Amino acid sequence: MFETLIKIWKKKNLLPQVFDEFQEILVNAHEMFDSVCKKLIDNEEVPSLRKKIYEIDENINRLQKDIRTKVVEHLIFQPAVDVSVCLLLMSVVKDAERLGDYCKNLLEVVYILGKPIDKKKYLYFFDVMDKKISELFKKTKEAFIESDEKKSITAWDYETKIVKRCDEIVEELAKSSLSINEGVCLTLIARYFKRLTAHLTNIATSVVLPISELDHYDEGRRKESVTD
């Protein structure tokens, strides 16, 4: 009988400080996403946005490095521990670090837009997708921190709908009469929304999937979504 990564982690009390640092990464990445979307999509002024985003991302990178260091040291000094759990932890932490990178990519779109995004055009293509992804951030944090399997499973529903719609948006934009600047920027948003959703789902499903299936569940459906 396989156990999920998070259950083994908690049962054996593996690296409790690492668990706290991982939570901090998720909280930081969510803050980055919401802050960028306020400016990019709602055109709200966010004081010192670029400085804020890059400082938060630097903290995420620092936390990831610290987690990696602690995991390696743990393996060196306690070789009897479950190696597979530690290795998979490194994989999930990488997913979390990538969230910060894609939020920075979204920030770049803010500055390459020729003018503030046309909200009507955005809603026509994306509806409230940014709000759905923000919800997924919240559910992923709760699923992981609380080991909540029900919240974990809902991530697949988010991913299926968002990934499918992002692919449709790119096809629609390729046939649209939008300006090159608008078309490129909206395409980039679709791409980054898709990647954020995929990484969040990988993290959320680590709560419910057996270790042997982590990152590989239903690859036929997710083949495009789980590769960078």
Residue 115, C-beta contacts closer than 8 angstroms, at least 6 positions apart: none
Is residue 121 included in any domain, yes or no?
A: yes
Note the pTM of the prediction, 2 decimals: 0.86
The least confident of 61-65, 98-102, 119-123, 209-213 is 209-213
Rg of the Cα atoms in the chain:
18
* Arithmetic mean of pLDDT, 159-185: 95
The domain in which residue 162 lies consists of 5-222
What single letter denotes the amino acid at residue 52?
K
Secondary structure (DSSP) of 142-208: HHHHHT-HHHHHHHHHHHHHHHHHHHHHHHHHHTS---HHHHHHHHHHHHHHHHHHHHHHHHHHTTT
pLDDT in tens, 18-53: 888 989 999 999 999 999 999 999 999 989 999 999
Is residue 69 included in any domain, yes or no?
A: yes
CA distances from 145 to 10, 89, 183, 201, 220 (A): 11, 14, 38, 14, 29
* Arithmetic mean of pLDDT, 87-113: 92
The least confident of 129-133, 203-207, 210-214 is 210-214
Report how many domains make up the chain.
1
Question: What CATH number is attached to the domain comprising 46?
Answer: 1.20.58.220
CA 17 from chain center: how many Å? 21
Is residue 228 included in any domain, yes or no?
A: no
Is residue 150 included in any domain, yes or no?
A: yes
Is residue 227 included in any domain, yes or no?
A: no
Whether 76 has a pLDDT exceeding 50, the answer reads yes
Is residue 109 included in any domain, yes or no?
A: yes
Is residue 49 included in any domain, yes or no?
A: yes
